[in-house]
Amino acid sequence: RSLIENASDIVTIVGENGVFQYASPSVERVLGFEPRELLERNAFDFVHPEAFEETAVDVLGGLGSVEISVAKAEIVDERRTEN
């Protein structure tokens, strides 16, 4: 646990439904989100719309025999769009 919590790499646990179950403290240093902000959010919320389909196929395809149905959505993080 100490290794994960003090590493500079991001460590997350994502459930089969794509929802973050754990995010290491490095998420704040690297991405600017507090770990608790990610919990209960879907990992695909953070994928750029233009890369959504390819990313979904790569991630979900790695789970084995999974039927993939992808719907594109635009996700905007208002904290990141302030000028």
CB 34 within 8 A of CB 25: no
What pLDDT, on the 0 to 100 scale, is given for residue 64? 53
What's the pLDDT score for residue 56? Answer: 77
Place of tokens 């993939």: 68
User: What does the pLDDT read at residue 65?
Assistant: 45
Burial of 17-30, coded b for 16+ CB within 10 Å and e otherwise, reads eebbeebbebbbee
Q: Which residues of the chain have pLDDT under 50?
A: 65-70, 72-75, 83
Q: Whole-model pTM? A: 0.61
